[in-house]
Amino acid sequence: MISFDGLHIGPIRDLSLELERGLVYGLLGPSQSGKSELLWCLAGLLPPKRGRIDVFGRHLYDGDLEDHRAHRADVGVVFDQPAILPELSTLDNVRLPLDLRGIEKEEGNLRSRYLLDRMGLKDAEQKLPSELSGGMLTRLQVARALASRPGLLLFDGPTAGLDPVTAARLLKLLRECVNESQATGFVTSHDLTGALAACDAILLVSKGHLRGPLPAELAGDVLRFQQGEEPW
């Protein structure tokens, strides 16, 4: 379970909420509403102004370095700005987190090639990042985030710059991969239709507050929210 108790992070104030493990949550809201700050906080990279956050039994930001390291090792992240090593091939970029964990290269290659195949990048494994399109770079980041089989996956704007069809396909693929790995995922996206299709539940962020989780099928409420009305 993931729980927030009186959390203040970015513009979000007094967040108290419990979320089930093993679901994909869509985080929707206007720009500068605190979505990215919340993901950074969940990643263990940005301490809250105040309040408590527990992730899978670990209390983050309490000064316990072992818990913090264990949490960071159990998180996979994809942010809107690609964090890819330009001198490494596609395959080597995906395998990198496995190399850092001391996993044998043969096993790392097997796992990485499986993920590249899932992402439609099988024929690009020896290409450098500079040879990939924007959509391919995003899928490369997703494959690398999944490589170490983390329990928590955070996707901040993974569809930024993609056309609607490609974005919807990527979000659908994200959900399939997260569900396959039995992980818990958080996705921020400006693609409402794709987010609804890719997520098990929706969290709405606006005016310093977070509401939800709402079932993803409540598309009407989410649409009104996106258009400036508050459905709660």
C-alpha distances (whole Å) from 204 to each of 77, 134, 138, 224 are 21, 28, 24, 11
Residue 9 has pLDDT above 60, yes or no: yes
Number of domains into which the chain is organized: 1
In this prediction, residue 174 has a pLDDT band, given cuts at 50, 70 and 90, of confident
Q: Is 88 contained in some domain?
A: yes
| 34 lies in some domain | yes
CB 67 within 8 A of CB 59: yes
The pTM assigned to this predicted structure is 0.86
Residue 35 covered by a domain: yes
143 half-sphere exposure, CB direction, 13 A CA radius: 31
Q: Answer yes or no: is 38 within a domain.
A: yes
Condensed to tens digits (0 to 9), the pLDDT of residues 55-75 reads 998 889 987 888 888 898 899
In a domain, 232, yes or no: no
Q: Containing domain of residue 135, as a range?
A: 2-227
Looking up residue 90, the CATH number of its domain turns out to be 3.40.50.300
What are 81-100's pLDDT values in tens digits?
Answer: 667 899 999 999 999 999 98
